[in-house]
A and B are shown apart, each in its own frame.
Chain A
Amino acid sequence: MKRRHLASFDDEHALLGAIARCRAAQLDVVEAWSPHPVHGLDAQLGIPRSRLPMLAFAGGATGLVLGTVFQYWSSAVDWPIDVGGKPFDSLPAFMPVMFELTVLCAGLTTVFALLARSRLWPGKVVRAHPGVTDDRFVLAAVPRDPTLPAHEVDRMLLAAGAERAWEETIP
């Protein structure tokens, strides 16, 4: 049984401004929702830089190795066949496929990592805050002082520029 306070704004600047004011007012902004990426938001919320690039690189490397080894093995080791008098391990000829496999694996890793990390999957049911996928900007704040009464928090949020503020309980 956790409680938190939500406030909605009608543009990104209001949201960003509000976050600063909240912090001043002893309110921790735990999350924010917006219809489009808001620049500077992750800084405000203190979200660390994503580690997706590392994963993507790992994926790409795997693809590269896979492509190289399999091509060499299948055409020079498993069954070497004389094709147009070319060497069995015609490395230059293997490069296109090596490259394609690198990109393919990297791409797949990136996307699936994104989905997994952000807990997105087909059919996931979610109740987004009204209008947040249209034109509303919403933040969730938790008072540092749990004893602070709800209406007080709402007042502070409205003061911070919210057009609406309300309290919700999440299981």
Chain B
Amino acid sequence: MAANPLRVALFVALVPAAFLLPGSSPPRLPGDHSGYAPEQPIHFSHRLHAGELSIDCRYCHFGAWESRHAGIPPASVCMNCHASVSAGFDAQMAERAAAVAESRDPRRVVSPEIAKLYAALGLDETLTQQSAPTPIPWVRVHDLPDFTWFDHRVHVARAIACETCHGPVQSMERIRQVSSLSMGWCVDCHRASAAEPGGNSAQHVSTDCSACHF
């Protein structure tokens, strides 16, 4: 009889423990993929581009202003700069110094990552077409279920900063999902905005199901 309450206590204790078991990560609700930061085919650094060089988001993700999808920039957009910029500043300097030391013309330095970009476009280091271009298979990070429709246009038009959902991208070496992107997460924001005063009917923030599901 004395053993009984102990047994009960043990049982009660085990239930939450069972939840903690899989993986060391703290328990998350289903559908919450925050923290997902997969290896990408090319090590593209948002920290460098959006952070240090502070290139505007819309330069590459121009879709976000006119389309539902922000879109991943076509390789041609990368080449706007990387046709000339083929390696980091330090590497260039080093090569130049080396060239001076060896009293020769500096060679073209191509960083391994940018080389991948050229390869994708079927170019060699001198940017001459070698083979047929093959598109770059970026790994999708911010991925909503197929039955959910998110429209970048509308949110951008309402001047919602990219960081609101995508987090401090300019500080990310490799892009990472910050928000849970769960339905609850969306709805909370919509509820808050719906409560906002003003906003004409075209800008009305809806919590209707059909705002996202159709």
Q: Do chains A and B touch in the complex (CB under 8 A)?
A: yes
Hey, which bits of chain A sit against chain B, CB under 8 A?
A: 79, 119, 121, 124
Minimum C-beta distance from A81 to chain B (A): 8
Minimum C-beta distance from B185 to chain A (A): 14
Residue of B nearest to A121 (CB): B4
From 156 to 184 in chain B, residues with beta carbon under 8 angstroms from any chain A beta carbon are none
A79 CA to B209 CA, complexed, in Å: 12
Question: What are 6 pairs between A and B in contact, CB < 8 Å?
Answer: A79-B187, A79-B207, A119-B1, A121-B1, A121-B4, A124-B1
Residues of B within 8 A of A121 (CB): 1, 4
A160 CA to B187 CA, complexed, in Å: 79
Minimum C-beta distance from A122 to chain B (A): 9
Residues of A within 8 A of B4 (CB): 121
Residue of B nearest to A80 (CB): B207
3 interchain residue pairs of minimum CB distance: A121-B4, A124-B1, A119-B1
Residues of B within 8 A of A124 (CB): 1
Residues of A within 8 A of B207 (CB): 79
Minimum C-beta distance from A119 to chain B (A): 7
Residues of A within 8 A of B1 (CB): 119, 121, 124
Encode contact with A along B195-209: 1 for CB under 8 Å, 0 otherwise: 000000000000100
A41 CA to B1 CA, complexed, in Å: 28
Residue of A nearest to B191 (CB): A79
Residue of A nearest to B207 (CB): A79
A119 CA to B1 CA, complexed, in Å: 9
A31 CA to B203 CA, complexed, in Å: 79
A124 CA to B2 CA, complexed, in Å: 11
Residues of B within 8 A of A119 (CB): 1
A121 CA to B4 CA, complexed, in Å: 9
Residue of B nearest to A119 (CB): B1
A124 CA to B187 CA, complexed, in Å: 52
Minimum C-beta distance from B36 to chain A (A): 28
Residue of B nearest to A122 (CB): B4
Residues of A within 8 A of B187 (CB): 79
A121 CA to B187 CA, complexed, in Å: 47
Minimum C-beta distance from B207 to chain A (A): 8
Residues of B within 8 A of A79 (CB): 187, 207
From 1 to 50 in chain B, residues with beta carbon under 8 angstroms from any chain A beta carbon are 1, 4
A124 CA to B4 CA, complexed, in Å: 9
